């Protein structure tokens, strides 16, 4: 079994500088010295560090493309992949990976840590070793058990594009609010096979999508939001907008707001309604105030996370720059299990 561990940066790849106490990137040898178990396991593990290692606050779509291309270029040489990443934007990168790597049938497991590797109570070792075990896991027929992009943290494995960083303090830093965990690790790792996404055709070749369009904005509604602010965002050189609404997808009922949205939609801007609530789904049309959004041509984001929606939008706009209808259609459907489109919610279309 051969596993490739790709180190992109973040706390998990940092060590404390004994002179001033500040965190700095660990070199590969230091990293190996702190986790000797890596090389005692009965599998072959290679480590590939990014140069330079980056704090995940600096990660951008070019880095997503670099991560996806690294997996793609090494796909036939390894049985599974682990990506070490800073926790701050891990859910964005891991979501992007799930859209960039089409027809995946090997595991790509993201993990990181809240405390740097080498610190006495660090969660780095446990997260890394569990992620490696999951990346290597095979059923009795030798098939990969989790052939999708996932995120492993503090004993839980989630579908990557369902996750959100929820806690800056506790070790349990991630949550998947709208989809159950794919596996739980205690003494044994228990996989919930019925929840895992399996490719339809195993023999389909891996396809890489790395084009992105960054002209995307997140417009979060708040009581008292003003017309000039909304106008400034919608009249800029923008291609896609994530409209973060209240509750089941509601927004204020003032006319200027709907006219601005309808005008932007007419100009070809894709606007998707995403609730500010962590749990639950957008249901446009349930209340009169969201009926107006429907009339303006705003699409439903159902129960998708902002992280997954942002990555999906950037990638679709990059892949189909001249086919806005295709972008809209794909945004309204789940590609790799990133959202639940129930008939109950669909009836409003
Ligand atoms: N700032 C760090 C990062 O996201 C935090 C972490 O890794 O937990 O890169």
Range of the domain at 293: 216-346
Question: Which residue shows structure tokens 């291609």?
Answer: 239
Give the domain-ending residue among 154, 184, 208: 208
304 and 236 inside one domain: yes
39 and 183 inside one domain: yes
Rounded CA separation 234/237 (Å): 8
245 and 320 inside one domain: yes
64 and 118 inside one domain: yes
Question: In this structure, are strands 44-49 and 2-7 parallel, antiparallel, or unpaired?
Answer: parallel
Atom of ligand 1 nearest to the CA of 55: 9
**Residue 313 structure tokens:** 């939008």
200 and 231 inside one domain: no
237 and 131 inside one domain: no
Give the domain-ending residue among 158, 179, 208: 208
Q: For residue 148, give the CATH number of its domain.
A: 3.40.50.1170
Rounded CA separation 123/179 (Å): 24
Q: How many structural domains does the chain have?
A: 2
Q: Which of 15, 87, 163 to mutate to test the pocket of ligand 1 (most atoms within 8 A of CB)?
A: 87
Per-residue pLDDT 10s for the chain (349 aa) are 999 999 999 999 887 777 888 777 776 677 778 888 877 768 899 999 999 889 999 999 999 999 999 999 999 999 999 999 999 999 999 999 999 999 999 999 999 999 988 788 989 999 999 999 999 999 999 999 999 999 999 999 999 999 999 999 999 899 999 999 999 999 999 999 999 998 776 678 999 999 999 999 999 999 999 999 999 999 889 999 999 999 999 999 999 999 999 999 999 999 999 999 999 999 987 777 778 899 999 999 999 999 999 999 999 999 999 999 999 999 999 999 999 997 554 444 3
Tell me the backbone φ, ψ of residue 206, rounded to 5 degrees.
Answer: -70, 135
Give the domain-ending residue among 158, 181, 208: 208
Rounded CA separation 137/194 (Å): 16
- Ligand 1 pocket check for 87: Cβ under 6 Å: yes
Confirm whether 279 is a catalytic residue. no
244 and 338 inside one domain: yes
Please count the other Cβ atoms lying within 10 Å of the Cβ belonging to residue 72. Answer: 16
- pLDDT given for residue 37 in this prediction: 81
199 and 66 inside one domain: yes
15 and 100 inside one domain: yes
Rounded CA separation 142/165 (Å): 33
Is the whole model's pTM more than 0.85, yes or no?
yes
70 and 191 inside one domain: yes
Q: Which of 16, 22, 24, 57 to mutate to test the pocket of ligand 1 (most atoms within 8 A of CB)?
A: 57
- Ligand 1 pocket check for 171: Cβ under 6 Å: no
Q: Which among 250, 241, 248, 242 has a CA at the least distance from the CA of 223?
A: 250
Q: Mind giving me the DSSP string for 50-66?
A: -SS---GGG--HHHHHH
Q: Separation of 304 CA from ligand 1 center, angstroms? A: 23
Please give the C-alpha separations between residue 205 and each of 106, 200, 252, 266, in angstroms, as whole numbers. 12, 12, 47, 38
Q: For residue 272, give the CATH number of its domain.
A: 3.40.50.40
283 and 313 inside one domain: yes
203 and 238 inside one domain: no
């Amino acid at each position: 079994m051969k596993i490739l561990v790709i180190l992109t940066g973040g706390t998990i790849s940092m060590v404390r500088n004994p002179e001033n106490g500040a965190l700095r990137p660990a070199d590969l040898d230091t990293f190996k010295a702190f986790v000797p178990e890596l090389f005692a396991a009965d599998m072959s593990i290679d480590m590939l560090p990014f140069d330079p290692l980056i704090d995940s606050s600096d990660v951008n779509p070019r880095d997503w493309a670099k991560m996806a291309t690294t997996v793609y270029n090494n796909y036939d040489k390894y049985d599974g992949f682990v990506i070490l990443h800073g926790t701050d934007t891990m859910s964005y990168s891991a979501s992007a990976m799930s859209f960039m790597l089409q027809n995946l049938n090997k595991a790509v497991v993201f993990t990181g840590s809240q405390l740097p590797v080498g610190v006495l109570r660090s969660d780095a070792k446990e997260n890394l070793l569990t992620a490696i075990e999951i990346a290597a896991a095979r059923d009795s027929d030798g098939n990969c058990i989790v052939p999708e992009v996932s995120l492993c943290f503090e004993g839980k494995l989630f579908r990557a594009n369902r996750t959100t960083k929820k806690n800056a303090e506790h070790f349990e830093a991630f949550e998947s609010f709208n989809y159950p965990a794919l596996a739980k690790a205690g003494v044994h790792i228990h996989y919930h096979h019925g929840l895992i996404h399996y490719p339809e055709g195993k023999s389909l070749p891996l396809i890489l999508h790395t084009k992105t369009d960054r002209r995307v904005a997140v417009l979060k509604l708040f009581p008292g939001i003003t017309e000039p602010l909304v106008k400034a965002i919608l009249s800029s050189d923008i291609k896609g907008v994530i409209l973060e609404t209240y509750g089941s997808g509601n927004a204020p009922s003032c006319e200027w707001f709907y006219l601005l949205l309808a005008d932007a939609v007419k100009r070809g801007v894709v606007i998707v309604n995403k609730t500010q609530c962590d749990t639950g789904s957008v249901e446009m049309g349930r209340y009169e105030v969201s009926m107006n959004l429907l009339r303006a041509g705003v699409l439903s984001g159902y129960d998708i996370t902002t992280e997954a929606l942002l990555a999906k939008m950037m990638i679709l706009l990059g892949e189909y720059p001249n086919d806005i209808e295709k972008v809209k259609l794909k945004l309204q459907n789940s590609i790799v299990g990133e959202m639940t489109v129930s008939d109950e919610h669909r009836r409003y279309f």
